[in-house]
Structure 1
């Protein structure tokens, strides 16, 4: 049995999107099982915001940084339309009704149950963050899921048969137990590696463990 790299990941996180090509390469290069552990965004999960509506500097920096990082990586980056969570970006207030994020996160859980969590995360996040407008309409989501080798209707039907929110909550508790709260966080042998730019540090650790294929 291969060692496991647990990936705590959110569909609302641009940095989670940016790490997906590296996760596929990690799986190709190392004798490890890369497992998607989807969590809700912290604005939903912890009922709190990282931003102060009176001080926009943090959100301005993140928007600049993710655009810069995407350019550095050669990846497309556009703010999602619609946003995976319904939130006022001036007050940062989160709406009670959330028509997207719970379904997306649940799809990630079911995809991982079928051994294709990272594949679905890659396909769907590239659609959402790669400039597809109105990704929630028509066959956009269905086609993205199909490109990961999965069927959207089958996933939706499977999710209805068990308590998927309990699995999401378990992922969130495991993230906290690993010593972090943010995404993406990769955990190997109990050691957390937070951030898209820590993937090289994780590869270094895997090399130390002689896990390169």
Structure 2
């Protein structure tokens, strides 16, 4: 990943994690906690593609595993977000622009359900049965509802920032100036060529007129 991608992804992931842990987790909403980190990974994956989404998801999940108050094994959420980021990156629009909101909303619903099921499944493999006591159905419904409510405010903003970071103003300026200089040099060279050509043509015309006049004078002398 390029430096601007890494810098933006790290900043957005850290901000999302801080807001989720310090604000959203303390709202004590029924069911699941709104997953701002998941929505951030989805927005970046829809711009960077499956490889970038996989890397961002793994880094974001690992950071969430290590951030307090983590109560699960390290690497569990990293695996979940790695898979979700990879799958979300596969539906990245080829043009880079979203024409409708139906696609991203479907991605958010699938990611909310898939991440909850995958997290519960990995937990069951390591002996964590908390999902059974809380109720998997309620977790799925609340996670999907909360993520859908947050998605219109988070995913488009993250995608806009990611696309903005992809455009390097220095590169664009350099490219534009390079093209402008090429065009300018082309105009100058063509203009110079025309001037030189016109001068040469003028010299040729003058020389031919001089020859004709000289020939006329010679012929006139011979006639005389």
TM-score in terms of structure 2 length: 0.29
Instruction: Give the number of the structure whose alpha-carbon radius of gyration is greater.
Output: 2
Richer in strand (by share)? 1
